[in-house]
Amino acid sequence: MKAYIIRRLFQAIAVCLAISMISFFLLFLNSDPALLLLPPEAEIEDIEIFKKSMGLDRPVLIQYLSFLKKVLLHGDFGNSFVSKIPALDLVIERIPATLKLSLLAVLLANALAIPMGMISAVKRYTLADNLITFLALVGQAMPLYWFGIMLIIIFGVFLGWLPISGSDSFVHMIMPSITLGAWLLPVNMRLVRSGMLDVLNQDYIRTARAKGLFEKTVMIKHAFKNAMIPMVTVTGMQLSLLLGGAVVTETVFAWPGLGRLAVESIRMGDYPVVQAIVVFFALCVVIGNLLADILTAFIDPRIRLE
């Protein structure tokens, strides 16, 4: 286990370096931050002076190596081009808002996905199974931004029950978390269903039933635990989906998290902030996958990560 974790940590560093390099070069290929930050009437001399002051006049490779040196040695992603404060400080400031939204979305999604998946598996090919499968299909096909806008129109504008933006209280989290959770719900529900169907055909389930155990005991005590193994593994991988979905959700609901900060920074050409967000997202995905693997090994002792 220890050797596996150490190896995965080295892999995480390599992945983050590769992602930072790719994103760095793609940002510079996409646009010139000087043209985005300076007013349209800026003279060529002003643009050149601005680039020199920001170090943007050097070759892109030299800029990346300088950026990498600062990050590895000092954890310094540079100062924001717009606010002039450290980019890492801006990212850290927005992390709690995104975490609150993501955790609530996961809780809502799993609170519905687990019972729906179990019902769908136990009542296979019945009306309940067909209805749940249809809802999962609609959920997977539904664009995230469209669902968020529909919630705003119905519950925020027409009914006036919920605020359409902001983050002042728990009420402001309801629609964004439902939107983000609805994105995970269909996948998790299908995972629970397939896991339960696989487990219900195992010999130990038939043995438990032959002993005369109540069906509820068989489902919860014997089937449920093993059926959760695929879901635990995929939940770690879904962290990348959550972060990607947060970009859309936070933009639609004006939620002050990392997703909205990423969109604003890309639009304004604030490359240091974008780089800090990209590296943070990459770390979250890699660490999430690692934790999912370790948790899976604890749930099922037959799994040996080495």
Map residue 86 onto helix, strand or coil: strand
The verdict on 201 and 292 lying in the same domain is yes
Distance CA 236, CA 285 (A): 7
The verdict on 135 and 66 lying in the same domain is no
Domain span holding position 220: 90-299
Q: How far apart are the first and last CA of the chain?
A: 6
Residue 299: what pLDDT?
A: 62
Q: What is the pLDDT of residues 104-158, one digit of tens each?
A: 888 888 888 888 888 888 788 888 888 888 888 887 788 888 888 888 898 888 8
**Residue 153 CB neighbours (<10 A):** 12
Q: Is residue 270 part of a domain?
A: yes
Token pair of 103 as six digits: 């955790």
Mean pLDDT value of segment 55-69: 78
Per DSSP, what are the bridge partners of residue 86?
79
Q: What is the pLDDT of residues 203-224, one digit of tens each?
A: 777 777 777 767 667 776 667 7
Lowest mean pLDDT among 35-39, 49-53, 194-198: 35-39
Q: What is the pLDDT of residues 246-260, one digit of tens each?
A: 778 888 888 888 888
The verdict on 52 and 100 lying in the same domain is no
Residue that finishes a domain, picked among 74, 102, 126: 74
Instruction: Output 282 or 237, whichever has higher pLDDT.
Output: 282
Contact indicator for 274, 23 with CB cutoff of 8 Å: yes
Q: Is the pLDDT of residue 177 over 80?
A: yes
Q: Is residue 305 part of a domain?
A: no
Residue 35: what pLDDT?
A: 66
The verdict on 29 and 127 lying in the same domain is no
Instruction: Output 90 or 216, whichever has higher pLDDT.
Output: 90
Contact indicator for 122, 219 with CB cutoff of 8 Å: yes
Map residue 79 onto helix, strand or coil: strand
Number of separate helices (H) and strands (E) present in the chain: 13, 0
Residue 239: what pLDDT?
A: 66
The verdict on 67 and 95 lying in the same domain is no
Lowest mean pLDDT among 162-171, 190-199, 209-218: 209-218
Distance CA 301, CA 298 (A): 6
Half-sphere exposure of 242 (CA within 13 A, CB side): 28
Map residue 48 onto helix, strand or coil: helix
Give this prediction's pTM: 0.73
Residue 184: what pLDDT?
A: 81
**What is the number of structural domains in the chain?**
2
Contact indicator for 205, 218 with CB cutoff of 8 Å: yes
Residue 96: what pLDDT?
A: 86
Mean pLDDT value of segment 82-111: 85
Distance CA 109, CA 35 (A): 43
**Residue 217 CB neighbours (<10 A):** 13
Mean pLDDT value of segment 281-301: 72
Contact indicator for 87, 273 with CB cutoff of 8 Å: yes
The verdict on 186 and 244 lying in the same domain is yes
Distance CA 29, CA 26 (A): 5
Q: Which amino acid is it at 93?
A: E
Q: Is the pLDDT of residue 297 over 80?
A: no
Residue 70: what pLDDT?
A: 81
Residue 201: what pLDDT?
A: 73
Residue 117: what pLDDT?
A: 83
Q: Is the pLDDT of residue 279 over 60?
A: yes
Q: Is the pLDDT of residue 305 over 60?
A: no
The verdict on 36 and 122 lying in the same domain is no
pLDDT tier for residue 290 given thresholds of 50, 70 and 90: confident
Mean pLDDT for the chain? 78
Q: Is the pLDDT of residue 275 over 80?
A: yes
256-260 long-range contacts, CB within 8 A, separation 24+? 256/94, 256/97, 256/167, 257/94, 257/97, 257/98, 257/101, 258/91, 258/94, 258/95, 258/97, 258/98, 259/98, 260/94
Residue 197: what pLDDT?
A: 78
Q: Is residue 201 part of a domain?
A: yes
The verdict on 234 and 198 lying in the same domain is yes
Distance CA 293, CA 121 (A): 25
**Residue 112 CB neighbours (<10 A):** 17
The verdict on 29 and 107 lying in the same domain is no
Question: Using alpha carbons only, what angle is made at residue 255 by residues 250 and 256, rounded to the nearest 5 degrees?
Answer: 115
The verdict on 39 and 166 lying in the same domain is no
Considering just the CA atoms, what is the radius of gyration of the chain in Å? 24
pLDDT tier for residue 233 given thresholds of 50, 70 and 90: low
Mean pLDDT value of segment 54-58: 71
The verdict on 49 and 105 lying in the same domain is no
Percentage, residues of the chain above pLDDT 90: 0
Contact indicator for 279, 271 with CB cutoff of 8 Å: no
Residue that finishes a domain, picked among 22, 44, 74: 74
Q: Is the pLDDT of residue 306 over 60?
A: no
Per DSSP, what are the bridge partners of residue 79?
86
